[in-house]
Chain A
Amino acid sequence: MTLALATPLRLPARRLASFGWATTIAGVICLLVALTALLAPWIAPHDPTAVDPLNAYAPFSAAHPLGTDDLGRDLLSRLIAGSRTSLAGPLVVIVLSGATGTAIAVAAAWIGGWFDAAVSRVLDILFAFPGLVLAITVTAVFGAGFLAPVVALSLAYVPIIARVMRAAALRERSLPYVEALRVQGFSGWHICRRHLLPNLAPLLVVQAAISFGYAMIDLASISFLGLGLQPPAADWGLMIANGQPSILAGFPQQSIAAAVAVVITVVAFTVVAERMASR
């Protein structure tokens, strides 16, 4: 431990991940957050949307461990309820972009030639377009809510996943065992499905885990801008935004609670992902 403290901090996330305890703590946090999201309706002490104007801006107490917001809603309950959409959003993003990106990447690597060149150029163009801007534009066109930002962000994440997976698929494809399979008369479809994809899966999991944190921040930003879920839904990004007027009133706890929840979750997921990647 003294040695670790004496060495200058380089690549913070990576160094942190090399400590067993940091990964452990991060892993436990990830599990807790996931469990909270799963069990939200049962473990929230209050109804997250129950308004109680007489009890607005209540301080910390046994009844309201984190206090209440400007409408007297229990902050802890809203945080717990908000974990559902705040986790489900990034999850859908990485599943959609992971599946699409991998399919495109493997197809491009396998077919090669002009198809690979065309796919790669399209990915480059998408890549040059900031994901958040794309998501905001799409949302502005198709309307706010849960689905539009999530689908748009998935699209924006496809090139990020596809680039890494294409490189890996190209490397895998050039291995002699793939040629041996072709010599055995297996079709390209069979080889991709039964050999390439399973062998690329670990990399995909790591990529998805790293993207999860980014997707969460992006979705929180979209919610913060009012383009995601609409009030009175409890969503962490939305809570940060809705808490802004209260900050001026001297009651910053809503924004702070939601922001801390986002930061802790993102850091925890990233630490675990980095650990997975460095193995």
Chain B
Amino acid sequence: MSALLEFDRLRVEIPTPVGPRPLLRSVSLSVAAGEAVGLVGESGSGKSMTARSVLGMLPGGSVATGAVRFRGVDIGGLDPAGLRRLRSRDVAMVFQDPRASVNPVRTVGDFLTEVLRERGMSRAAAREKAGGILADIGVDRLAHRLKQRPYELSGGMLQRVVIAAALAGEPALILADEPTTALDVTTQEEVVAILDEQRRQRGTALLFISHDLELATAVCDRIAVMYAGEIVEILPAARLHEDARHPYTKALLKARPGSVPPGERLQTVPGVPQSAIDAPAGCVFADRCPVVEPLCRDTIPVLTAGVACHLEVS
């Protein structure tokens, strides 16, 4: 199978005074063309770092081993021009906070047409195309919108504009890094629905990063659960509830607000989230796992058949 995007045992380490420390321990995942994959996990689990590695945006000084391949080409081996071409043509990114990710003093029209103009499209053609995409995602009063500046738009409207800008470049893959976290709950659904609808129509693949399991299952074909810089389980979104095998996935599912009757105490995952930096020697989840065994403490489980857990494989 030729994956559009493939992480092959990606490991990212950052040098510290006490020696290199991992940010990502081992990430293996593939995204097929047109497929939507959700990357879920707690804060600091390495979701964003994984997405950034696709664009070669790792923190300065960090060392990556393993590979991230886009259409079979290792991104780590690209020269700056190749990397720019990848970023501008093949992969688009939608950030968490639209307010921060748009130049505050340029107009919406400038922002939307910038990529197209840079490709040599005429101003009029670029405007028309940008306007067309805005219309597709249900933005009205186009001429007025294109002249507005970011501060004149609501957060939800601005995130639509950011999504439109991502779509305008006709990428093969969109990386959405918690695209709705900065929005209020009612606009969240609209914005996610737009992203979902547009990418399905265009056949664009999506790597959807979220810590909202419900949202991710609604949008994605498959869900990859991350913990402390490692993918612990990958499974079809539709079968998440039935098929979850990793103790961490199970614990996450129990911790959802909908899993207990109203008025009852919410269940939590005991302990505190760990980042890859201070993960234990064996299984990353061993310290918080309810069914931990001695083997888990000192041997790293390998992701096999969609789950990285000693108890499941044996």
Contacts and interface: CB of A to CB of B under 8 A. Distances in A.
Given A183-B93, A184-B92, A186-B118, A177 B101 contact: yes
A184 B57 contact: no
Given A179-B57, A185-B86, A185-B89, A190 B100 contact: no
Interface string A161-192: 00000000000000111011111111100100
A186 B118 CA distance: 8
A185 B87 contact: yes
Interface string A57-100: 00000000000000000000000000000000000000000000
A89 to B, nearest CB: 33
B93 A185 contact: no
Nearest to B81: A187
A195 B85 CA distance: 20
A199 interface: yes
A232 interface: no
Given A190-B118, A199-B105, A176 B86 contact: no
Contacts of A198: 105
B92 to A, nearest CB: 7
Nearest to A191: B103
Given A198-B105, A199-B105, A184 B115 contact: yes
Interface string B75-116: 000000001111111001101010011111110000000110
B55 interface: yes
B162 to A, nearest CB: 8
Interface residues of B, number: 25
Interface string A247-264: 000000000000000000
Contact of B95 (A175, A176, A187): A176
Decide if the interface of chain A is mainly helix, strand, loop or mixed: helix
Contact of B55 (A183, A186, A195): A183
A190 B86 CA distance: 17
Contacts of A181: 103
B43 to A, nearest CB: 18
Given A176-B95, A190-B118, A199-B105, A185 B100 contact: no
Contacts of B97: 176
Contact of B100 (A177, A182, A184, A187): A177
B88 A184 contact: yes
Contacts of A182: 57, 87
Contacts of A175: 100
Contacts of A190: 118
Q: Which of B93, B97, B103, B118 has the most CB of A within 10 A?
A: B103
Contacts of A177: 100-104
B95 A199 contact: no
Nearest to B55: A183
Interface in B25-44: none
A176 B101 contact: yes
A179 B106 CA distance: 16
12 contacts: A176-B97, A177-B104, A181-B103, A183-B93, A184-B92, A184-B93, A184-B114, A184-B115, A185-B85, A185-B86, A185-B115, A186-B88
